[in-house]
Chain A
Amino acid sequence: MSDTPVQTSATVLTVRQVQDYHAMTLVAPAIAERFRPGQFVALAVGGEHTSRLVRRFFGVHEVKSDYGGTVELVFADTEPGTAWLAGRRSRDQIDLVGPLGRPFRLPRDPVNCLLAAGGPGGAAVFALADSLLRRGCQVHFVLAGTSARQVFGSRMAQRIGDSSAVVTEDGSMGEKGTVRDVLPRVIEETGTDVVYGCGPTGLLRSVTQVAGDFGLPSQVSVEEFLQRTGACGIGVCMTCMLPVHGEDGVTRMVRACADGPVLRGDRVRWGDLGTIPFDALGAPRVLSVNEGGSQ
């Protein structure tokens, strides 16, 4: 079965600094051939006798056929695990599991797609853009960041997109503001049919709300939430839970890794992230500090 994930020892091809981020290319043919946009990989950090047991999760920026198949990841060096990754050199080996999670669903018809991205996780929209363009879709980018150095891929977006807009909080690149400020205008100008989002949770929430205002479907990747809360990436540890309401109206706690990372934006209860909503399936019926146990 080609849609099942694999575990592999991948060889580092290159690690480059790209603005405030690191881009790492790994030779991993089995993962490259199975990958679909929106899926992610889980990396073990710290080498063979590591004391760091949580895997690190990254969306895939690009898959290429060189060396039998490579995957490129973009990440920020924010903690000792990602610092270790940033310190890898060519020919180092890294234990990699993937591709994991549910991919973006692609439109059947060649429609107008708006791709909103921010932060290092936003790099994953380029793999999606590639698939959409091959289906004859129009691709419009909105890239966001706090400042110019955090906007990944603006030149690539200009090159491959039918349009691209950049928005930064300090105005150091593109417009000054947030995604929420520019999204309505871009949707109107481009005649968007569907909105995709990749990046920080705040951005995904804005994307979902604006898309909802226009009556458009949205699909978002909650990879950043997964990075903050997850441990295994394969669906066994049950730590990356977020509240999602289903078609039956029932809210369930679902795993960002195995049930996501791509979710319908309008299904996620953004305001309740990091909580168990009282009406969620299995929510505690009586509030008690002792309920739960250490397990």
Chain B
Amino acid sequence: MSDRVTTTLGPLELPNPVLTASGCGGTGRELAPFFDLTRLGAFVTTSVMAQARAGRPTPRVTETPSGLLTAMGLPGPGVETFLEHDLPWLMEQEVRTIVSVAGNSVEEYGELARRLRHVPGVAAIEVNIACPNVEDRGRMFAWHPSAAASVVRAVRDHARPGVPIFAKLAPDVTDIVTIALACVDAGADGLTLINTMEAMAIDPETLRPALTGVSGGLSGPAVRPVAIRCVYQVHAALPSTPVIGVGGIATGLDALEFILAGASAVAVGTALFHDPTAGPRVLRELEEALAARRISRLADAVGLAHKPAGYVPPQVRPQEPEKEKL
């Protein structure tokens, strides 16, 4: 693998920037027949919760233009089963794993971080704060800077010191930068932008909402411009905070767009439902796109869209000054 695409997410170094998005790669086993998961920068797990959850009744998904609308209800086997069956399998395959955690109370997040504290094979923790807070009338943690910060702080306090923490933010807030700042202040090492957007569809046949959950989360290429805007705004405000860009990435050029906006890594989500090999394909296309633009290191492209046109990143060439001596 070329080191053109190595990337760093704060303390975390990855051989390439292409991850799977949480909730889109199953347990990993389902994708394994299609490609070698170690070729990913990292595998991000489906959000783990304290208890097993069946989620919402079907229909949970409906197709919308260039997107998917889903109301899953965070189904999962619970942290016990995850630690017993799913994480060990990923470790066995030597897949770099970022564990996504979700809770319905600040306490539940803290508890999950504690459960992961002494577990090997956790490269980083992603905190899914797009969850209803049962202690606050079911309002999402991601909607309020203070609620978001209290979740991040709880995870930070209980997680193993040194393990990087990423907060995954929802895009449908008044000012995403305020929430990003609150999360970083609370101890997040980086941010994942974005989660799904709340949206709705009505079935013209049944004349009722298309999903049992009434509204759901919109994902896929339809939300990509929203995600790019969020990454750009957050990178402008917090240029040294690493960002994982997510939202409708289906090609290498989509990934490049996120990187130019300020993302140091990207996660492929909904595209995996459509194309199980989307991960390695996006990586290959991204490498080609960088080469075609004579960008020798991925890091040089991170946030490049913020620089004035014609800006050339300083090149580090320790060998060359010698040659230039005449």
Question: Using a CB–CB distance below 8 Å, which chain A residues touch chain B?
Answer: 1, 4-7, 44, 51-55, 81, 95, 97, 228-232, 234-242, 253, 258, 273-276, 280-284, 288-295
Whether B75 pairs with A228 at a CB distance below 8 angstroms is no
Q: For window 4-23 of chain B, which residues contact chain A by CB distance below 8 Å? A: 23
A232-B273 in contact given A54-B68, A282-B78, A294-B216 (Cβ < 8 Å):
yes
Q: Is B104 an interface residue (CB 8 A)?
A: yes
What are some 20 contacts across the A-B interface (CB < 8 A)?
A51-B221, A229-B58, A232-B274, A232-B276, A234-B26, A234-B34, A236-B273, A238-B26, A241-B54, A274-B59, A281-B52, A281-B54, A282-B75, A290-B134, A291-B132, A292-B56, A293-B102, A293-B130, A294-B71, A295-B73
Q: How far is the CA of A122 from the CA of B245 in the complex (A)?
A: 44
Contact of B25 with A by CB under 8 A: yes
Q: Whole-angstrom distance between the alpha carbons of A37 and B247 in the complex?
A: 38
Query: Are A276 and B128 within 8 A (Cβ)?
Result: no
Within 8 A of A (CB), among B85-133: 102, 104, 128, 130-132
Are A276 and B137 closer than 8 Å at their CB atoms?
A: no
Q: Which positions in B face A, CB cutoff 8 Å?
A: 23-26, 30-31, 33-34, 46-47, 51-61, 63, 65-68, 70-78, 102, 104, 128, 130-132, 134, 137-138, 140, 195-196, 198, 212-213, 215-217, 220-221, 270-277
Compute the total of residue contacts between A and B using a CB distance below 8 Å.
167
Contacting residue for B140 out of A6, A97, A293, CB 8 A: A293
Q: How far is the CA of A273 from the CA of B67 in the complex (A)?
A: 26
Q: Which residue of A lies closest to B73 (CB)?
A: A292
**Contact A283 B195, CB 8 Å, known A231-B61, A258-B30:** no
- Asked if B52 and A282 sit within 8 Å, CB to CB, the answer is yes
Please give the distance in Å from B34's CB to the nearest CB on chain A. 6
Chain B residues within 8 Å of A253, by CB: 54-55, 75
Assembly CA distance A198 to B178 (angstroms): 54
Closest Cβ of chain B to A96, distance in Å, is: 12
Could you say which residues of chain A place their CB within 8 Å of the CB of B58? 228-229, 239-242, 273-274
